[in-house]
């Protein structure tokens, strides 16, 4: 009796795998959020706004900045719009996680979700008010820009997503060019017995071949004519 979809023995395994991937995604998000908020709390408590402390020469330092805009101080006058964008990103990631089937995608979405929630938290709890709060930045990269842990997670997620897209790995774990029918077995249509060995019944042997003609004997009369 053929196995139906509901009775498939692979269904529990698929559900278990997806549950494990969701746990991975949620765990990474929680770790990123915890590190981000803890480091921001340290920066607010320990650093003076605008004062830079060098860590690796001019390449890396710490400097407390309250950023009303996005990275590189873009859209500083549109804080509310950035709040909406971050909220949309979070909703999209949560919805996409229901189809997840790849560990690499779980890591990427976990980093993205944790980073987005980290900065969105600042938008809601920091001055000057809800949805308009300024994000705490304190990691100074040379003279380029000042960021935070959430930004690092978001950039890492973006890089990983680009790599996965380049490799053709989809959110559900499938890959481009690896369909179920691409087995490469040219003899798959040949009839086989119960043990899987070819039966040889499909050989191209003509069935209507003419029977061999028996040699005829020549009578003595015909020889004398």
Q: Among 39, 52, 51, 59, which residue's Cα sits nearest to residue 141? A: 59
The answer to whether the pTM exceeds 0.85 is no
Average pLDDT of span 58-87? 80
- What does the alpha-carbon distance between residue 31 and residue 117 come to, in Å, rounded to a whole number? 11
Question: Which of these is catalytic: 7, 151, 176, 182?
Answer: 151
Most distant CA pair in the chain: distance in Å? 133
Q: Please give the Cα distance from 116 to 122 (Å, whole number).
A: 10
| Residue 62 and residue 56 in contact, taking contact as beta carbons nearer than 8 Å | no
As a whole number, the mean pLDDT across the chain is 80
Query: Residue 42: which residues within 8 A CB-CB, separation 6 or more?
Result: none
pLDDT for 75:
52
185 labelled catalytic? no
pLDDT of residue 14: 80
CA–CA gap between residue 113 and residue 103 (Å, rounded): 15
State the pLDDT at residue 197.
Answer: 52
Count Cβ atoms below 10 Å from residue 43 Cβ, excluding itself.
19
The catalytic residue among 58, 137, 172, 189 is 137
Tokens of 164: 């996965």
Q: What is the pLDDT of residues 135-165, one digit of tens each?
A: 999 999 998 899 999 999 999 999 999 999 9
pLDDT at 184: 37
Check pLDDT > 70 for residue 23.
yes
Q: Is the pLDDT of residue 8 over 80?
A: no
Residue given tokens 């003419």 in the structure block: 210
| Gap between the Cα atoms of 67 and 45, Å rounded | 17
122 in catalytic set? no
């Amino acid at each position: 009796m053929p196995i139906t979809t509901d009775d498939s023995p692979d269904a529990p395994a698929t559900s278990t795998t997806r549950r494990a991937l969701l746990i991975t995604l949620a765990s990474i998000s929680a770790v990123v959020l915890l590190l981000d908020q803890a480091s921001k709390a340290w920066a607010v408590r320990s650093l003076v706004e605008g004062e830079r402390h060098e860590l690796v020469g001019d390449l890396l330092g710490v400097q407390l900045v309250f950023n009303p805009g996005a990275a590189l101080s873009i859209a500083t006058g549109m804080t509310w719009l950035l709040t909406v964008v971050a909220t949309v990103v979070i909703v999209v990631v949560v919805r996409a996680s229901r189809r997840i089937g790849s560990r690499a995608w779980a890591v990427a979405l976990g980093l993205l979700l944790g980073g987005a929630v980290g900065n969105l938290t600042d938008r809601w709890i920091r001055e000057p008010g809800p949805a308009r709060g300024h994000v705490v930045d304190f990691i100074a990269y040379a003279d380029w820009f000042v960021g935070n842990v959430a930004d690092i997670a978001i950039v890492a997620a973006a890089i990983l997503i680009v790599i996965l897209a380049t490799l053709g790995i989809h959110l559900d774990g499938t890959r481009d060019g690896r369909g179920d029918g691409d087995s490469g077995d040219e003899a798959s249509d040949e009839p086989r017995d119960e043990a899987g060995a070819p039966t040889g019944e499909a050989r191209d042997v003509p069935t209507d071949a003419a029977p061999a003609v028996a040699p005829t004997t020549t009578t003595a009369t015909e020889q004398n004519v």
